[in-house]
A and B are shown apart, each in its own frame.
Chain A
Amino acid sequence: GDSVTQMEGPVTLSEEAFLTINCTYTATGYPSLFWYVQYPGEGLQLLLKATKADDKGSNKGFEATYRKETTSFHLEKGSVQVSDSAVYFCALNLDSNYQLIWGAGTKLIIKP
């Protein structure tokens, strides 16, 4: 079945470090891919998305490229801030199936 696998957390980094959170997927068909972020005490917010192969989604300094050949959608940021501390979820959605399928989430902790 369709699934999303994320690297386990927590990921702990110092401020201004480079961030990568790995995400790979298994899907029949051609999914849209998403990164959502959940800040402490808040709801899930869409961070970025990509709807077809080689698309790059970007927002707030975060980027992810839809790689069909490696079925991946890794999240990157060049210089993280303490305010980026949150849980990050990778998800996919098939056009023929409206429900989002989620990874388990990766908790990111940024230390000053």
Chain B
Amino acid sequence: GAGVSQTPSNKVTEKGKYVELRCDPISGHTALYWYRQSLGQGPEFLIYFQGTGAADDSGLPNDRFFAVRPEGSVSTLKIQRTERGDSAVYLCASSLDPGTAKNIQYFGAGTRLSVL
């Protein structure tokens, strides 16, 4: 596609439920990133994929959060037993050349998650 696509754009759920957030990166981008942005703050790194593998998941806040990228393209961020504190905008980005000066990350519009 032309850009990074994230679905849904908005997700409202109840405390304790399970949610999945989807990211479709720019075609050909091998690197994919998930960030979380709370109101009035900059994005916070969650996890980075290079191809199919999670190269760095050090930003995931706890074991309720998990992400996959089984075919090296689309990624899904999964949150179990959601809590009100999980409410935020979840951003996905992709890039062509991670770890170099060319590392320009292209962002999707985000999924706004609201946990009631």
- List the interface of chain A (C-beta within 8 A of B): 4, 32, 36, 41-46, 49, 51-52, 89, 91, 93, 95-105
- Chain A residues with CB under 8 Å of B42's CB are 4, 89, 91, 102-105
| C-alpha spacing A29/B41, complex, angstroms | 25
* Chain B residue at minimum C-beta to C-beta distance from A42: B109
Known: A99-B48, A102-B44. 13 other contacts (CB 8 A): A42-B109, A43-B107, A43-B109, A44-B91, A46-B105, A46-B106, A51-B101, A89-B43, A95-B100, A95-B101, A95-B103, A98-B31, A98-B99
B40 within 8 A of A: yes
16 A-B contacts (beta carbon < 8 Å)? A32-B101, A41-B109, A43-B107, A43-B110, A46-B105, A46-B106, A52-B101, A95-B100, A96-B99, A98-B33, A98-B56, A99-B48, A99-B56, A100-B43, A102-B42, A102-B44
| C-alpha spacing A91/B22, complex, angstroms | 25
B66 within 8 A of A: no
The list of the 9 closest CB pairs from A to B, nearest first, reads: A102-B42, A43-B109, A44-B107, A51-B101, A99-B45, A98-B98, A43-B107, A98-B99, A104-B42
- Chain B residues with CB under 8 Å of A95's CB are 99-101, 103
The answer to whether B105 touches A100, judged by C-beta atoms less than 8 angstroms apart, is yes
B25 within 8 A of A: no
- Chain A residues with CB under 8 Å of B33's CB are 98-100
| C-alpha spacing A55/B42, complex, angstroms | 24
Encode contact with A along B86-116: 1 for CB under 8 Å, 0 otherwise: 0000010101001111011111111000000
A-B contact count (CB 8 A): 64
| C-alpha spacing A45/B105, complex, angstroms | 9
| C-alpha spacing A103/B4, complex, angstroms | 22
- Chain A residues with CB under 8 Å of B95's CB are 98
- Chain A residues with CB under 8 Å of B109's CB are 41-43
- Chain B residues with CB under 8 Å of A42's CB are 109
Shortest distance in angstroms between A104's beta carbon and chain B's nearest beta carbon? 5
- Chain A residues with CB under 8 Å of B3's CB are 43
Shortest distance in angstroms between B7's beta carbon and chain A's nearest beta carbon? 13
B70 within 8 A of A: no
